[in-house]
Structure 1
Amino acid sequence: MKQALPLSLLSMFLAQFAFAQTSAIGTVYNDLNKNRIKDKNETGIANVCVSNGRDVTLTDKSGQWRLPAGDDTGFFVIKPAGYGVPVNADQIPQHYYLHKPNGSPVTKTDGVAPTGPLPGSIDFPLWQQKEENRFSAFLFGDPQVRGITEVNYVMHDVVEECLGTPAKFGISLGDIVADDPNLFAEVNAGIGQIGVPWYTTFGNHDFNRGATDDRFSDETFERFYGPSSYAFEYGQVAFIVLKNIYFTPDGKYKAHFVESQLDFVRNYLTHVPENKLVVMVMHAPVVICDNRKALFQLIEKRPNLFSVSGHSHTMAHLFVGEKWGWTGAKPHHHFINATVCGSWWAGLKDELGIPHATMNDGAPNGYSMLTFNGNQYSIRFKAARRPADYQMNIYLPDEQPKTAWDTTHVLVNVFAGSPRSKVEMQLAGQTDWIPLQITPLGDPAVATMHRLSPYLDATVDGTKLDNVLGWKMDEPEISYHIWRGAMPKNLPTGTHRITVRTTDQFGQTDTAHRIFRVR
């Protein structure tokens, strides 16, 4: 008769058996021929981070890794600096493996098909590539397309002018679509024409309609882009992309980080040297996240850090301090990027049939370029289909009586301006520069545009005017990048010119001019 195992040994055996059944293993390897197959002569790469969305482990000297696995787990390699990852035909990085044995729940759009049991080994290919410490990357906010017509707007208004770019990659900040994830494929194929790897953030309009749990709100997103929280590195910069849109049981959403994301940030940052710049990427501005302090506690002691978002259809530089729960040694710079769609593709159409799409704060639709030099960064806004130096609008009457100019003020909307920008004006023929004061106001042009909105629901001969004017614009919002100053007194009769000069926090200087008449 066989002797029974002692209870302690039996428990240990069962625990080890359970661990083996709920762990994924794999290798990160140097894919010398870039065929995405681990050939016999291709060795593993040590000290590369791999994650399951919560835990982060380093590969051993053979490139092998092991992580816990659940029944809905996205595994991904964190691209290290100096290496590339495969991309698909649309330039979407293929740095992940989705483990969903039963597939996604059924919703109005398809999620991930059943993946079956865990593979014996989940292998991630990398290959060496040259990466300079100085490089640039695109930042697209909210393309937010509502159909193929607006997909075409994205292509003609923004994407086509980005072809031939020296940028190394791009990041979309969420709301790729407007509640129809079926359009991901069309948007991806178009943006992919730029020809650089493109990373994507989850937005509140990218969700699976009909999902009954926040865990399943990003199933179609995952099918196209992989895990909705992940990281990658380039040069001296580590990018952490987080899904900070949380759907509540009543179908609404809030800006929120779940515990697994906070654990992921905490665990990954233990492997990121403090001399590297960390860029936190998300859809909703960090200041509206209900548990932002939990994230702040993980990052506020890092000396090199900033964060970016979209969502608000305005552009702003926030310097986050104690008011928002930040207790770091210096304010945290959070940049709310311009949107590709502007004000949801609303407004009068131009000669090409594309709406002006001016954002609610008076800035034009467009995108930004991030430029990095080691662990330093700068941001440069680019208005869609406008010259690169179109960075402001000057508001001043064209003509007034001489007596009226003594009480007239000039307003300047510096689209990407911040409280750290310097804005000043000079009258032609004079040498003095007159400083302007930042003065949050509604943009005058947006107010004028908005007055068209009552007509958008009207009809002429049975044709709705929104076919001509586009979607109804939202209410104008306060712009936090408007400057105001008094005009010089006793201007002589005739034609005059003022020049406005602005220098931003990165030392970038722009000028613009306005011609007016005194009668």
Structure 2
Amino acid sequence: MKKFASFYLFSSFILSGFSYAQNTASGTVYNDLNNNQVRDKNEPGLANICVSNGREVTTTDKAGKWTLPVNGDTGFFVIKPAGYQVPVSAEQLPRHYYLHKPKGSPTTQTEGVAPTGPLPRSIDFPLRPQAEDKQFSVLLFGDPQARGLTEVNYVMHDVVEECIGTSAKFGITLGDIVADDPNLFGEINAGVAQIGIPWYNTFGNHDFNRGATDDQFSDETFERFYGPSTYAFEYGQVAFIVLKNIYFTPDGKYKSQFTDTQIDFVRNYLKHVPENKLVVLVMHAPLVRSGNRNELFQLLEKRPHTFSVSGHTHTMAHVFADSKWGWNGPKPHHHFINATVCGSWWVGLKDETGIPHATMNDGAPNGYSILTFNGNQYKIQFKAARRPADYQMNIYLPEEQSPANWDTTQVVVNVFAGSARSTVEMQVPGQTGWIPLSLKPSGDPAVAAMAQLGPFLDATVDGTKLEKVFGWKMDEPETSHHIWRGSMPKNIPKGTHRLSIRTTDQFGQTYSASRIFRVR
């Protein structure tokens, strides 16, 4: 593995000699005309390109040169500008960085970065022009969270295989790539690479180096595979800022917050981002749960176009942050908590293909999202794993009842990616109009029923716990923030009928579903 790390460090950039002045680093961003990731004599430098050391952000001069402060553990990265591409590895991982760790990573249970030696005299970043339309899509994977190769295979068969051939321009994993075993990064990367598009990654609390005694060293294996855990890049009219907002405390626990260095990085980078661009913050834990989010809010709230996305909770939700969350902009900030690839940690009965149902604790199926941009505007579409694209809700209604019981029967609808800005309506027998349903956050009925299997799975047969046969036991159900309710009308005639549901989300996307029931 050390051979891999050293090969990468010295193959992606020109490292011309070594510098003995260790207080600054410098290099060139250049147009890699022949795509060999080595700066040849005829390849010009590129001006006005942002380069960072994770705190300061500078721009290249007319010759493509840059200079930044350095310390004994610094990750330098070029911020990919719109209209350019950075090299990617065989695993489709962007190679936009250089790690300066003269002594390498501290020893932990998983291998970090090998010693990089003295600071190179020149750290040169290659870029190549590429066409970028203002309209493009991105795949968002939340929490694949694989425990061992069995669950790596679940990720591949449940989600990755159906994404092959996507029109998305790149993908982003929102942290918890693995479940406490960074040694599996390589296996996950090799599988996700089969989708065939560049893939960016975010640090999650389950991606940490076990045994690290300082937050600074909690992401050493992550850095070996993916580079700095805080970075930025641009595509079209969108500036993406990826932030590690998992902070490990000396007692081995973690909390969600940003460091002063990260806040400085965002502040310094935004000075170079025009007001007409959409700024998208990407992180693992929800922004609204981060302790010092107000410092970030203050940097963003005067900008007209902002959005943020996270994973972590194993539920799906839209939060429209206003003053009660510390956001004081003219309109609420939209934060989207994405669905998880692993659902509820790959828990549940297995289907005919051997994959657990993995329903999330809010009743939404496991899956991913497709984030589509048009200039500085965006929309989100949820995609349930291995299900049709229009599978967007579950309807709960008794299949059969006598006429007298329908008067007090509630229609319950879980619109998986619904929000407070969605409308949900129903149409019942004998009516041509649509009746609005009310948003009533509550538990999902199916999840509540599945949770009752918990004690059953504690039982044993011939000394083997049934959970080993039928799947891991689910966590307790959680409140779903996308449940709608309404009352059935009176006097439904006897017979077989169809209940129709339609929903329109904040982006104007409309979905429908039906449920058949009988009045006996």
Match of 1:71 in 2: 72
Aligned equivalents of 1:322, 1:262: Cα separation in 2: 20
Q: Distance in 1 between matches of 2:456 and 2:201?
A: 37
Q: Which one-letter code corresponds to 1:310 in the other structure?
A: G
Which deviations, in whole Å up to 9, do the C-alpha atoms of 1:29-72 show, x marking residues without a partner?
Answer: 00011100001110000000000000000000000000001000
- Matched with 2:389 is 388
Partner of 1:494: 495
Find the counterpart in structure 2 of residue 421 from structure 1. 422
Could you say which residue in structure 1 is the equivalent of 2:4?
none
1:113, 1:258 → 2: CA distance? 25
Confirm or deny that 1:245 pairs with 2:246. yes
**Contact 2:20 2:119 (C-alpha < 8 Å) held by counterparts:** no
Which residue type is aligned with residue 85 of structure 1? V
Give the corresponding residue for 1:479: 480
Paired position in structure 2 for 1:98 = 99
Report how far residue 324 of structure 1 moved. Answer: 1.1
Match of 2:184 in 1: 183
What residue number does 1:13 align with?
Answer: none
Quote how far apart the aligned CAs of 1:442 are.
0.2
| Cα distance in 1, alignment partners of residues 455 and 134 from structure 2 | 52
Name the SS of the counterpart of 1:122 in structure 2.
coil
Q: CA deviation at 1:20?
A: 4.0
Q: What are the residue-to-residue correspondences of 1:161-180 with 2, within 5 Å?
A: 161-180=162-181
Q: What does residue 443 of structure 1 align with?
A: 444
After superposition, what is the alpha-carbon deviation per residue over 1:299-345, rounded to whole angstroms, capped at 9, x for unaligned? 11110000000000000000001111111111110000000000000
Contact 1:318 1:333 in 2 (8 A): yes
| 3-state DSSP of counterpart to 1:516 | strand
**CA offset digits 1:209-242 (Å, max 9, x no partner):** 0000000000000000000000000000000000
Query: Which residue in the other structure is 1:135 paired with?
Result: 136
Matching residue's letter, 2:287: V
Distance 1:502 1:19, change over 3 A: farther
1:361 corresponds in structure 2 to 362
8 Å contact from structure 1 (residues 164, 194) kept in 2: yes
Give 1:265-284 correspondences, 5 Å limit. Answer: 265-284=266-285
Which residue does the alignment assign to 2:14?
A: none
Please state how far the C-alpha of 1:488 moved relative to its aligned partner: 1.3
Counterpart code for 1:197: P
Structure 1's unaligned 5+ residue stretches are: 1-17
Matched, 1:305 2:306: yes
Q: Which of 437-446 and 462-471 deviates more?
A: 462-471
- What's 1:467 paired with? 468
Looking at structure 1, the residues matched to 516 and 116 of structure 2 have their Cα atoms a distance apart, in angstroms, of: 65
1:454: Cα distance to partner?
1.6
Unmatched 5+ residue regions in structure 2?
A: 1-18
- Matched residue, 1:86: 87
Between 467-476 and 226-235, the greater mean CA deviation after superposition? 467-476
SS in 2 for 1:479: coil
Count of residues in Structure 1 that have an aligned counterpart in Structure 2: 502
Q: Distance in 1 between matches of 2:81 and 2:362?
A: 38
Task: Tell me, in whole angstroms, the C-alpha distance in 1 between the residues paired with 2:73 and 2:131.
Answer: 35
Distance 2:425 2:161 in 1: 34
Measured in 2, the distance between the counterparts of 1:293 and 1:456 equals 44
**Bigger-Rg structure (1/2):** 1
Q: CA deviation at 1:457?
A: 3.0
Deviations along 1:85-106, whole A, 9 cap, x unmatched? 0000110000000000000000
Distance 1:225 1:469 in 2: 36
1:101-140 alignment, distance < 5 Å: 101-140=102-141
Using the alignment, how far apart are the partners of 1:94 and 1:294 within structure 2?
A: 30
Find the counterpart in structure 2 of residue 15 from structure 1. Answer: none
User: Is contact 2:50–2:60 with CA below 8 Å preserved after alignment?
Assistant: yes
8 Å contact from structure 2 (residues 429, 492) kept in 1: no
1:148 aligns with 2:112: no
In the other structure, the counterpart of 1:292 is 293
Mapped to 2, the partners of 1:138 and 1:224 lie a distance apart of: 20
* Contact in 2 for aligned 1:349/1:468 (Cα 8 Å): no
The alpha carbon displacement at 1:167 in A equals: 0.3
1:175 Cα offset (Å): 0.3
Supply the AA of the counterpart residue of 1:72. D
* Partner Cα separation in structure 1 for residue 457 and residue 68 of structure 2: 55
Task: Tell whether the 8 Å contact from 1:49 to 1:56 is kept in structure 2 after alignment.
Answer: yes
Q: Mapping of 1:229-240 within 5 angstroms?
A: 229-240=230-241
**One-letter identity of the residue aligned with 1:262:** I
Q: Cα distance, 1:460 vs. partner?
A: 0.9
Question: Aligned letter for 1:346?
Answer: V
- Aligned counterpart, 2:55: 54
TM-score (norm 2): 0.96
In the alignment, residue 308 of structure 2 is paired with which amino acid? S
Structure 2 contact 22–71 (Cα < 8 Å) conserved: no
1:427 and 1:487 map into 2 onto residues whose CA distance is 8
C-alpha distance in 2, partners of 1:457/1:81? Answer: 54
Amino acid at match of 2:339: A
Partner amino acid for 2:173? S
CA distance in 1, matches of 2:270, 2:61: 18
Do the aligned residues in 2 keep the contact of 1:428 with 1:499 (CA within 8 Å)? no
Q: Contact 1:491–1:518 at 8 Å: present in 2 too? A: yes
CA contact (8 A) 1:276 1:375 kept: yes
Give the percent of matched residue pairs that are identical in Structure 1 and Structure 2: 77
Q: In structure 2, what is the equivalent of residue 327 of structure 1?
A: 328
> What letter matches 2:433 in structure 1?
D
Question: Within 1, Cα distance between the matches of 2:96 and 2:171?
Answer: 16
Q: Is the 8 A contact 2:29 2:49 kept in 1?
A: yes
Q: Residue type of the partner of 2:413?
A: V
Which residue number in structure 2 is paired with residue 12 of structure 1?
Answer: none
Tell me if the contact between 1:310 and 1:338 (Cα under 8 Å) persists in the aligned partners. Answer: yes
Equivalent runs, 1:196-275 vs 2, <5 Å: 196-275=197-276
**Map of 1:410 onto structure 2:** 411
Q: Is 1:160 the counterpart of 2:161 in the alignment?
A: yes
C-alpha deviation, 1:471, in angstroms: 1.6
Deviation at 1:428, TM superposition (A): 4.3
Q: CA deviation at 1:455?
A: 2.6
- Measured in 2, the distance between the counterparts of 1:453 and 1:115 equals 50
| Secondary structure of residue in 2 paired with 1:497 | strand
Q: Distance in 2 between matches of 1:457 and 1:69?
A: 55
Aligned to 2:408, the other structure's residue is in SS state coil
Residue 124 of structure 2 aligns to a residue whose secondary structure is strand
Contact residue 342 and residue 357 of structure 1 kept, 8 A: yes
Partners of 2:319 and 2:365 in 1: how far apart? 19
Q: Who is 2:29 aligned against? A: 28
Q: Counterpart of 2:7?
A: none
In structure 2, what is the Cα distance between the partners aligned to 1:34 and 1:455? 59
Amino acid at match of 1:99: H
Q: Deviations 1:333-380 (Å, cap 9, x if unpaired)?
A: 000000000000000100001000000000000000000000000000
SS at 1:442's partner residue? Answer: coil
State how far apart, in whole Å, the 2-side matches of 1:277 and 1:326 are. Answer: 17
Change (3 A) 1:19 1:279: farther
